[in-house]
Amino acid sequence: MSISRRSPFWRIFRTHTAGLALFAGGSFLSVASGQEPVVHDARAQLHAELARDVETFEQQHNILKRAVKLVTPAVVHIEAKRDDDSRLAQKSVEEAGSGIVMERNGKYYVVTNRHVIKYSSLSNVKIKLSDGRQLVPTQVWADRETDIAILAVPGKNLIPAIIGNSDKLEIGDFVLAVGSPFGLSHSVTYGIISAKGRRDLQLGDDGVTNQDFLQTDAAINPGNSGGPLMNLRGEVIGINTAIASSSGGNEGIGFTIPVNMVMVVADQLIEHGQVVRAYLGVQLDATFTREEAVAAGLSRPEGARVTGITPRSPAEKAKLQLGDVILQFNEQAVEDDDHLINLVSLTPVNREVELTLVRDMQTMRLRVRVGNRSELKPLAETSRNE
């Protein structure tokens, strides 16, 4: 590294070395004749200064260590042996993943990704706790659309994770990932939130359609799936799910399901055995252009434009119209059509919500009671037959 004599480093170096004695042949020589030998140990002084600076730094760094200590007991290692299947044309394969412990009504569950355990029966899934105990789940529920699975587990005195609020995350926030990359359980990596609202990922043939991923540069590798992404408070704010990689390993682009979405799905799986999703009954424009946004009275493309309304649906009852651009759903800004679909699907069925929309260049508000999406298909089929 080249250092200019005018640089601050050079001035500090010169200050600390000016007037120091030169050491040669085991004796001190004064810089100028007639002066007393300088016995100050420049190295010792530098070491003391560095120690003080490091102590200040370590006080901040201790935040990371305390956060890891807080969350690690709630993180589990999962080994799932694939059930023998002649269609696989191979011997049984063992998948490795991670998960977190959660508690509901005095019972313990492990949250992980569906793809970690989807090829395995309960008896072929082993859950290893941080204290070395090994558990076999007693029941499993899974949601294909979000790639979330919940495992009911026996045992006492398990330590549940502290759940944060992923809606409060901002790009640039520091985060830590904990998991079992390549089977190395309880590995910790560090990074930031790189982006939010990633909804157009191609995740193989798993049919993960409800996407609202956080993106992080914290190292995520095979085996991290199902493990937590946490903030510096030791709160879980996401479940690590996928990576974008040309090599199969970490390249600084990992994707995490926001924990608010995870908890909505988890609670419904535990309570109902499946996710009951809401719907509005509208068709949306997936190619809402800037020109169309300006024509609707907006300065840029935002929100979701309505291109169709299902008869007898909540949208029709609330008097939504073709061309309406929905800007807010229950006071949350709508970024695009996929975002609105996620917001609606995670809303409890029959809840009344407020929509803010633009119609004929005017902003207006409507209230609508979302319906049960399982009713949507029969309604659509009836409308085609009429």
Same domain, 267 and 288: no
Residue 151: pLDDT over 60: yes
What confidence category does residue 3 fall into, taking pLDDT thresholds of 50, 70 and 90? very low
Same domain, 146 and 172: no
Instruction: Supply the mean pLDDT for the chain.
Output: 82
Residue 67's pLDDT is what? 92
Catalytic residue among 180, 225, 313, 345: 225
Q: Report the alpha-carbon distance of residue 213 to residue 246 in Å, rounded.
A: 19
Q: What CATH number should be reported for the domain holding residue 185?
A: 2.40.10.10
Do residues 105 and 182 share a domain?
Answer: no
Mean pLDDT, residues 200-213: 75
**Rounded to whole angstroms, what are the CA distances from 128 to 73, 98, 125, 318?**
11, 9, 10, 50
**Which position has the higher pLDDT, 381 or 116?**
116
Which domain, by its residues, includes 216? 166-272
pLDDT at 287: 87
One domain, residues 109 and 180: no
User: For a pLDDT cut of 70, what percent of the chain falls above it?
Assistant: 81
Q: 41 in a domain, yes or no?
A: no
- Catalytic residue (one of 143, 147, 217, 336): 147
Determine the average pLDDT of the residues in 297-310.
90
Tens-digit pLDDT profile for residues 307-334: 999 999 999 999 999 999 999 999 889 9
Check whether residue 227 and residue 298 sit in a common domain: no
Active-site residue, selected from the candidate residues 77, 98, 115, 194: 115
Is residue 92 among the annotated active site residues?
no
Q: Are residues 171 and 247 in the same domain?
A: yes
**Residue 313 bears catalytic tag:** no
Which of 120-129, 160-169, 238-247, 259-268 comes out lowest in average pLDDT?
A: 238-247
Does 186 qualify as catalytic in the annotation?
no
Indicate the pLDDT class of residue 249, thresholds 50, 70 and 90: low
When pLDDT is cut at 50, 70 and 90, the band that residue 47 belongs to is confident
Q: Residue 23: is its pLDDT beyond 50? A: no
Tell me, yes or no, whether 297 and 373 share the same domain. yes
Global confidence as pTM: 0.76
Structure confidence at residue 384 (pLDDT): 29
Count of domains observed in the chain: 3
- Examine the fold and report which residue of 229, 253, 272 is the final residue of a domain before the chain moves on: 272
Judged against a pLDDT cut of 80, whether residue 28 lies above it is answered with no
Name beta bridge partners: 98. Answer: 77
- What does the alpha-carbon distance between residue 226 and residue 242 come to, in Å, rounded to a whole number? 9
- Of 224, 250, 272, the residue at which a domain comes to its end is 272
Using the predicted structure, report yes or no on whether residue 160 has a pLDDT greater than 90: yes
